[in-house]
Structure 1
Amino acid sequence: MKQKIIEEDAIRLNVLAKDWEEAVRYCGEVLVETGIVEITYIDAIIKGIKKFGPYILIAPGVALPHARPEDGVIKEGICIIILQEEVAFEPGKEIKVLIGLAARDNESHIKILQKIAEVISEEESMEQLKNAKRKEEILHLFNENRGA
Structure 2
Amino acid sequence: MYNNKNQGILKFLSQDKVSFLNCKNWEETIYEVSSPLLQCNSLTTKYIDCMIDEIKYYGPYNFITDGVVLAHAKPISNETRIDIAVGISEKGILFCDKKKAYVILVLSVDATDNHLNILRDILIVFGVQTNVEQLIALKTKKSVVSFFEEKLAT
Structure with greater helix share of residues: 2
Structure 2, unpaired ranges of 5+:
none
Shift of 1:18: 1.3
Using the TM superposition, name which of 35-44 and 117-126 deviates more: 117-126
Q: Is the 8 A contact 2:18 2:141 kept in 1?
A: yes
Deviations 1:67-116 (A, max 9, x none): 11117743211000111421212465111110100111351111111111
TM-score scaled to structure 2, two decimals?
0.83
Separation in structure 2 between the aligned mates of residue 97 and residue 71 of structure 1, nearest angstrom: 28
Query: Relative to structure 1, is the Cα distance of residues 48 and 82 closer, same or farther in structure 2, using a 3 angstrom cutoff?
Result: same
Evaluate the alpha carbon distance shift between residue 72 and residue 51 of structure 1 in structure 2; reply closer, same or farther with a 3 A threshold: farther
Change (3 A) 1:43 1:92: closer
Deviation at 1:10, TM superposition (A): 0.6
Q: 1:99 aligns with which of 63, 86, 105?
A: 105
Identity of aligned residues (%): 29
**1: distance between equivalents of 2:124 and 2:86?**
15
SS in 2 for 1:70: coil
- In structure 1, runs of 5+ residues without a counterpart are none
Q: Distance in 2 between matches of 1:110 and 1:40?
A: 23
Q: Distance in 1 between matches of 2:13 and 2:139?
A: 17
Give the SS at the match of 1:32: helix
Compute the RMSD of aligned alpha carbons.
2.0
Rate the CA distance shift 1:90–1:69 in 2: closer, same or farther, 3 A: closer
- 1:82 and 2:88 are equivalent in the alignment: yes
Please name the residue that 2:31 is paired with.
25
* TM-score normalised by L of structure 1: 0.86
The Cα of 1:58 is off from its aligned counterpart by 0.8
Distance in 2, matches of 1:37 and 1:59, equals 25
Following TM superposition, the consecutive aligned residue runs of length 4 or more in structure 1 with deviations greater than 6 angstroms are none
**Aligned pairs for 1:66-77 within 5 A:** 66-70=72-76, 73-77=79-83
